[in-house]
Structure 1
Amino acid sequence: MIDVAALRALRSVAALGTLARAAEELGFTASAVSQQIKRLERQVGVPVLAPAGRGVVLTPAGQAIVDSAAEVFQALERCAEAAQSVSAGTPRGVLRVVAFSTAIRGLLAPVIPRLAAHCPDLRLHITEQDPDQALHSVDAATADLALVHDADGLPVPLPLSLTQRHVHTDVGDVVMSRTHPLARLDRPLTGTDLAGHAWVTSPPGSVCHQWFRRLFADAAEEPDVHHLVDDFATQLALVAAGDVLALIPRLARPPLGDGLVSRPLRRRPKREINAAWRRSANASPAIQAVLTALAD
């Protein structure tokens, strides 16, 4: 009979291309993953991997095994969910959650006390991951639930083995000092209002930088960017220290304090946030408990 751990190791190697990267994902050493693959080859009687440069590729037999692996893991997961449903569907054990940093701060952290009160036998193990990596982790069963956001209005491609649910819409506001001229405006800000002011913004390549660039898409002049900073708390410190503005998602925004204010934009930048999990785990009491807490 095929060893499940060895099957999971082969699936991870197939997805990541090297024994070292698979070992990192699975929490083993590369030697341990290699031994699992060799055990699988003894069990099936044929090679499943072949060297390719610095990495490895699947043999036809290895590809056939990986193609069938999803059904195996889904069946095992359904067995576990059936057992939990017999015990009155009580959320218990460890639920491995992967999410981007602002979702951890703004969505997950606030519901942990509520979950602890209503589900004392359930513990969340949270790891920060970008959306693409988070979906891969859930698909590979190294995580159970992911919180992901769309990429500048485009949804992250969802593996066929996963399903998802919308949990939140995050929007961005402009933050400024209370003494800034724009702080006196008691209305949503326009592109004309923002012209000519200095900024601190997230580095290129981030969703928030794309939001920022879109604010000035129709402007005649380039925006006056004084600072490029990834950390939002540091952005706020620079806003408080100088005469710069910052565009910050509400989920990412710590308390502003007395010296800062936020103003909404007439054309609000936004991102949709979804929870994603394996279809075979749809009946999981732990996943459903977290989804309910996020909805509340």
Structure 2
Amino acid sequence: MVDVGALRALRSVAELGTLSRAADELGFTASAVSQQIKRLERQVGVPVLAPAGRGVVLTPAGQAVVDSASEVFQALERCAEAARSASEGAPSGVLRVVAFSTAVRGLLAPVLPRLKARCPDLRLHVVELDPDQALHGVESGTADLAIVHDADGLPTPVPPSLAQRHLHTDAGDLVVHREHPLARAAQPLDCPDLAGHAWVTSPPGSVCHQWFRRLVADVPEDPDVRHLVDDFATQLSLVASGDVIALIPRLARPPLGEELVSLTLRRRPEREVTAAWRRSADASPAIRAVLAELGSPTPSDG
């Protein structure tokens, strides 16, 4: 019989291209992964990997094994989830959740107290990952539930093996010092209102920087970007100095205190936030419990 651990190791090597990368993903040493692959080759009776430069490639037999692997893992997971749901159905154990940073802060953290009270035997293990990495983690089996956002209005491609549910629409607001001239302007603000002001923004390549560039696209002069800062709390500390303004997602926004105010924009940027999990885990009481809590309103809404 084929060893499931060795099958998982082969699939990881096939996806990542090297034994060392697969070992990092699986939490093993490269030597341990190599031994698992050799054990699998003894079980199927043919080589499944061949050297290719500094990496490895699948043999035709190895590709055939990997092509069948997803059905094996889905069947095993359905079997386990059926057993759990056939018992009392009380969520228990560890649920591995991967999510982008502001979802951890704005969606997950607020529901953890309710979840703990409702499901005392369930523990969440949360890891911060960008959407592409998060979906790969769920698909490969190293995570159970992903929270992801779209990419500048384009939905993140979700593999067919994963189910998904819309959780939240996040929006961006302008944050300024209470004494800033814009704090006294009529809302919602239009594009011309943004001209002539200094900014702190997220670095290029981030979704929030794309939001910023689209927001100021029709401003006649180039925007005066004084600072490029990835951390939103640091952005807000610079806004508190009174010299700059910032575009901040609501999920990323802590209480502003007395010095800062948020202002609505007529063309406010938005992003859709979804949850994704393996279809074979649909019956998981733990996933259902977390999704139920995430479906409740949070303080970040509105």
Shorter-chain TM-score category? over 0.9
- What is the deviation of 1:220? 2.3
Report whether the alignment pairs 1:130 with 2:130: yes
Match of 1:198 in 2: 198
The structural deviation recorded for 1:175 is: 0.4
One-letter amino acid matched to 1:79: C
What's the counterpart of residue 112 of structure 1? 112
Contact 2:169 2:273 in 1 (8 A): yes
Report the secondary structure of 1:244's partner residue.
coil
Letter in 2 for 1:229: V
Distance 2:108 2:93 in 1: 17
Runs of 4+ in 1 over 4 A off after TM superposition: none
Cα distance in structure 2, aligned partners of 1:202 and 1:147: 21
Would the aligned equivalents of 2:194 and 2:219 in 1 still touch at CA under 8 Å? no
| Amino acid paired to 1:88 | E
User: Could you give the per-residue CA deviations for residues 58-112 of structure 1, whole angstroms, max 9, x where no partner exists?
Assistant: 1111100000000000000011111011112111110000000000000001111
Any stretches of 5+ residues in structure 1 without a counterpart? none
Aligned-pair CA distance for 1:257? 1.1
Aligned pair 1:211/2:191, yes or no? no
After superposition, what is the alpha-carbon deviation per residue over 1:238-269, rounded to whole angstroms, capped at 9, x for unaligned? 11113100000000011111100000110110
What is residue 271 of structure 1 aligned with on the other side?
271
Number of residue pairs the alignment of both structures matches: 296
Distance 2:268 2:55 in 1: 45
Aligned residue identity for 1:242: G
Letter paired with 1:13: V
Matched, 1:96 2:100: no
Q: What TM-score do you get using the length of structure 1 for normalisation?
A: 0.99
CA-based RMSD of the aligned residues comes to 0.7
The residue aligned with 2:299 is none
1:172-191 equivalences in 2 (<5 Å): 172-191=172-191
Alpha-carbon offset, residue 186 of structure 1: 3.9
Give the fraction of aligned pairs with identical amino acids, expressed as a percent: 79
Q: Please state if 1:287 is matched with 2:287.
A: yes
Q: Distance in 1 between matches of 2:220 and 2:258?
A: 34
| Separation (CA, whole Å) in 2 of partners of 1:74 and 1:268 | 41
Aligned counterparts of 1:220 and 1:177: Cα–Cα separation in 2:
24
User: Which letter does structure 2 place at the counterpart of 1:148?
Assistant: V
Indicate conservation of the 8 Å contact 2:179/2:242, yes or no: no
Q: In the alignment, what sits opposite 2:222?
A: 222
Tell me the distance in 2 between the aligned counterparts of 1:222 and 1:163. Answer: 43
Alpha-carbon separation, structure 2, partners of 1:289 and 1:59: 42
The 1-side partners of 2:39 and 2:103 are apart by 40
Q: Which residue identity lines up with residue 94 of structure 1 in the other structure?
A: V
TM-score (norm. length: structure 2): 0.97
Q: 2:170 aligns to what?
A: 170
Q: Once the 2 structures are TM-superposed, how far is the Cα of residue 51 of structure 1 from its aligned partner?
A: 1.1
Is the 2:100–2:129 contact (alpha carbons within 8 Å) kept by the matching residues of 1?
A: yes
Distance 1:224 1:108 in 2: 35
Contact 2:176 2:242 in 1 (8 A): no
- Structure 1 CA distance for aligned equivalents of residues 86 and 162 of structure 2: 24
